[in-house]
Amino acid sequence: MKILVPVKRVVDYNVKVRVKADQSGVELANVKMAMNPFDEIAIEEAVRMKEAGVASEVVAVSCGVAQCQETLRTAMAIGADRGILVSTDAELQPLAVAKLLKALCDKESPDLIILGKQAIDDDANQTGQMLAALMNLPQATFASKVTVAEGKVSVMREIDGGLETISMHMPAVITTDLRLNEPRYATLPNIMKAKKKPLETVTPDALGVDVAARLTTVKVLEPAGRSAGVMVADVAQLVDKLKNEAKVI
Amino acid sequence: MDAPMAREVMEYDVVVVGAGPAGLSSAIRLKQLADAAGRELSVCVVEKGSEVGAHILSGAVIEPRALNELLPDWKERGAPLNTPVTEDRFLLLSKHGARKLPTPPQMHNEGNYIVSLGNFCRWLGEQAEALGVEIYPGFAAAEVLFDDLGAVRGIATGDMGLNRDGTPGPNHERGIELHARQTVFSEGCRGSLSKAVMARFDLRHNADPQTYGLGIKELWEIDPAVHERGLTVHTVGWPLASDTYGGSFLYHLEDNLVSIGFVVGLDYSNPHLSPYEEFQRFKTHSEIRRYLEGGRRISYGARALSEGGFQSLPKLSFPGGVLVGDTAGFLNVPKIKGTHMAMKSGMEAADAIFDHLADVPDGSGEVTGYAERLRASWLWDELYQVRNIRPSFRWGLWGGIAYSAIDTYVLRGRAPWTLKNHADHTQLKPASACAPIDYPKPDGKLSFDRLSSVFISATNHAEEQPCHLQLKDSAAPIQINLATYNAPETRYCPAGVYELVEADDGPRMQINAQNCLHCKTCDIKDPTQNINWVTPEGGGGPNYPNM
Ligand SMILES: Cc1cc2nc3c(=O)[nH]c(=O)nc-3n(C[C@H](O)[C@H](O)[C@H](O)COP(=O)(O)OP(=O)(O)OC[C@H]3O[C@@H](n4cnc5c(N)ncnc54)[C@H](O)[C@@H]3O)c2cc1C
Ligand code: SF4
């Protein structure tokens, strides 16, 4: 069984992002980048399935600038067997990424595609769902447990007020939630080994995909600062303020 | 606890500890020499920051002298030296005024560049990797390894995923042993492994104690109307009392950025002093605030720097390794520049190591050629000439300025004497003998509290891990530091790591290690040297962008 895991290079979660002075986006120059944490969970899950003998190959894919190779190396240090970079300097929106992934899946024919449920930079939460739709595959989003048995994959999902288990035929698309697993540390020897694993580069053109942006960013703003709190004298005043100032009741 | 699992071993010709300007220059020079001689040479660099540059904090105006020697075509290679210095101003501040002083010759910056040293190191790292150097960020060298004869044989990286009590957690990964024929210690000011090596080989035997300063820095994006790209401003005087060594720098970089920082000599004697608060109130001076008003603060950080100079240099080599850069103490204090010295020392070490590896079959033993080469280089003359300037400030600001003028203009660094240095941790007076200092409250526009500052340094440490600030005597913070010195660590730590909390049975010192900026001040200044800074889990610490 082959598993394909898309991984995205995003601003490291430790970095405090700063909106550019011209409000066109966030500052990325010399900012620490890292693998999207949900994708790390996806890679970890795939590698565990390989270690358990359920999967035979784990392929990591990243779409974007040349530095995404570092993200792929990290994926391979965690245990992916090889990497594919879809190399482009263009701004990629979820639909474009989903189309690129579809083109790669058509070539690679994976049995499972495990993605992060969302990327922590744009929080779009769309790529997995779009990919499943484009490929006409079953999908299970927000997975907190994944089990493969007898040609089927069952996924436990966290939903409001409980858990839901879905059983799907493969190939299928899964997106990971935070509690699926805790990714391992990439060790030095594994980072060294990852440098020697195969990494193939393709372009959107070669895959026949038009990645042109369909959405325009109008403006990016910092969240408004919190205004200072006020002390209320008694319950009556609190109710009055909630009603007439905050207008929440 | 069970005996720890055995560690995996990897062999290199040279292992470099720390990817700052010193370590990277060493690695680059080694590979250049090997390429030119057609010899195989494996060089590995470990860096505790999450990436190269993540822990680098500097001014920085750099003198390109060493860079010209290392990579003469640095411009073509796209080195991020984008802003030549166009003007130097030197000001003496009083509370309400500022007087222009003649700029001392060491502070003339024609031909120098204002840079982000972190970005410069990121670029140097790329140059090194292109030459085949293996760089591993996110891995701290936690332990020095010795062979049977007592020589250094490399380092071990720290374990990952330990619990708070030191037992292995669920994701535990044992560290790795990196064995080398020679190990280059380039950890920057007050390196934790360098400290162990100096003690082990008694390298400070004939040297004065090392002395230090604490530099605190912020990066601001300011109003383009008041930005003067290429301008450097240095100040002395207010807000520091004249018996305290220190001053500020303000460098106008590209993109309307300004690097502003304050350095306080760690030989200060008044335990009530807070370097952080001095910096915050300094920014409210009319001469400074006119640049910052209407701007926004982007980043914050702090780092100690070595100020002992020539007379505090330790022995530089020992069986199996060498000390290069700031951890050895190569910093020109009147110039406030250490980068060119760090690079030069790294390069000379590389040359000497390369020769040594060719001459000695197994490459073991001591590279004595390193110190010899340094003595014959410009670095040695430069450091010798300015050796009396920093120590002369023990006579206060005025005494220091007067002495420095004579030393520089009349004696020209050739005085037949050398002033002594004294260890910083011995200089604190009891709190009762010193006047408390009343610092103004932060206004949230120009001045800020420490926690909001640490927040923008993007500092993080894995929560579950042993505390990397180790106390030899757990009672000392209360019984000595609080009792005699009114808990100075709660003020000198620029990250608010040390916090006095009231417990039922009296006050207790709480250590918020996750906020630590790796500046090393507590390891230096603690009056009884009770605090030992050790490397936390690799990748932890600040994530400085553009610092
Ligand atoms: C506030 C301030 C302003 C300054 N201004 C200037 C200036 O304007 N011009 C100038 O030329 N110089 C300036 N300096 C001095 C200059 O920054 C230093 O001289 C220079 O950075 C020293 O280089 P280094 O390579 O020796 O050490 P560092 O730059 O400190 O680099 C050491 C590296 O080693 C890593 N490391 C340390 N220990 C370990 C370990 N155990 N395991 C793994 N990695 C480790 C660190 O994370 C770091 O990346 C300034 C310094 C400060 C603090
Ligand atoms: S704990 Fe020590 S090393 Fe860390 S920031 Fe505070 S003074 Fe600096």
- Each residue's pLDDT expressed in tens, for chain A with a length of 249 residues: 999 999 999 999 989 898 988 899 999 888 999 999 999 999 999 999 999 999 999 999 999 999 999 999 999 999 999 999 999 999 999 999 999 999 999 999 999 999 999 999 999 999 999 999 999 999 999 999 999 998 899 999 988 889 999 999 999 999 999 999 999 999 999 999 999 999 999 999 999 999 999 999 999 998 877 665 667 778 888 888 778 777 777
What pTM does this model have?
0.94
**Same domain membership, residue B164 and residue B264:** no
Contact B99, B91 (CB under 8 A): yes
Q: Minimal CA–CA distance to A25: which of A211, A212, A217, A223?
A: A217
The answer to the question of residue B161 being in a domain is yes
Kindly indicate whether the ipTM for this predicted assembly is greater than 0.90, answering yes or no: no
Tell me the best of B117, B307, B390 to mutate to test the pocket of ligand 1, counting ligand atoms within 8 Å of each CB and taking the most. B117
Q: Ligand 1 centre from B300 Cα, in Å?
A: 16
Is A137 domain-assigned?
yes
- pLDDT tens-digit series, residues B272-281: 999 999 999 9
Q: How many domains does chain B have?
A: 2
Q: Are residues B359 and B301 in the same domain?
A: no
Ligand 2 contacts CB of residue B468 (under 6 A)? no
- Based on the fold, state whether residues B153 and B218 are members of the same structural domain: no
Q: Quick one: pLDDT at residue B284?
A: 97
Mutate to test the pocket of ligand 2, among B187, B459, B516 (most ligand atoms within 8 A of CB): B516
Those residues with Cβ within 8 angstroms of residue A49's Cβ, 6 or more apart along the chain or in another chain: A1, A3, A55, A58, A146, A148
Ligand 1 closest atom vs CA B24: 25
pLDDT at A229: 65
Min Cα–Cα distance to chain B from A8, Å? 18
Q: Which two tokens stand for residue B414?
A: 């050739």
Residue B1's pLDDT is: 47
| A161 found inside a domain | yes
Please report the pLDDT score of residue B312 as a whole number: 96
B268, B283, B306 - which closes a domain: B306
Q: Measured between beta carbons, which residues in chain B are less than 8 angstroms from residue A16?
A: 455-456, 458
> Residue B460 domain-assigned?
no
d(CA B397, CA B378): 29
Q: What distance in Å separates the CA atoms of residue A184 and residue A165, rounded to the nearest whole number? A: 26
With respect to residue B453, please indicate whether it lies within any of the assigned structural domains.
no
DSSP string computed for B214-228: EEEEEEEE--GGG--
Same domain, B179 and B36: yes
Which residues of chain B, if any, have pLDDT below 50? 1
> Which pLDDT does position A228 carry in this prediction?
59
User: What distance in Å separates the CA atoms of residue A209 and residue A86, rounded to the nearest whole number?
Assistant: 11
Atom of ligand 2 nearest to the CA of B518: 3
In the beta sheet, which residues pair with residue B262? B216, B248
Check which CATH number belongs to the domain holding B264 and give it.
3.30.9.90
Task: Evaluate whether residue A240 is within a structural domain.
Answer: yes
pLDDT at B361: 80
Report d(CA B165, CA B545) in Å as an integer: 32
Pairing of strands B87-93, B98-100: antiparallel
Instruction: Please name the residues between 408 and 437 in chain B that touch chain A, using a CB distance below 8 Å.
Output: none
Residues of B annotated as catalytic (active site), given as ranges = 58, 303, 339, 493, 516, 519, 522
CB contact under 8 A, A29 and B546: yes
B178 located within any domain: yes
Domain boundary among B244, B271, B306: B306
Question: Which CATH number characterizes residue A197's domain?
Answer: 3.40.50.620
Question: B35 with B150, same domain?
Answer: yes
User: Within a domain: residue B390?
Assistant: no
Q: Which residues of A touch B545 (CB under 8 A)?
A: 15, 29-32
Q: Confirm whether B426 is domain-assigned.
A: no
Burial of A248 by CB count in 10 Å (0-12 exposed, 13-18 middle, 19+ buried)? exposed
- Domain co-membership, B223 together with B289: yes
Same domain, B103 and B152: no
Whether A78 is covered by a domain: the verdict is yes
Q: Are the C-beta atoms of B234 and B107 separated by less than 8 Å?
A: yes
Q: Which structural domain range is residue A193 located in? A: 2-244
Q: What is the CATH number of the domain that holds B323?
A: 3.50.50.60
Number of structural domains found in chain A: 1
- Residue B289's domain comprises 83-117+210-306
Look at residue A249 and tell me if it is in a domain. Answer: no
Q: Would B393 be classed as within a structural domain?
A: no
Measured in Å, residue B18 CA sits from the centre of ligand 1 at: 9
Quick one: pLDDT at residue B3? Answer: 59
Q: Is A227 on the interface with B (CB under 8 A)?
A: no
**Does residue B449 sit within a domain?**
no
Nearest CA to ligand 2 atom 6: B493
Are both B328 and B346 inside the same structural domain?
Answer: yes
- Helix and strand numbers, DSSP H then E, in chain B: 15, 24
> Do B131 and B201 sit in the same domain of this protein?
yes
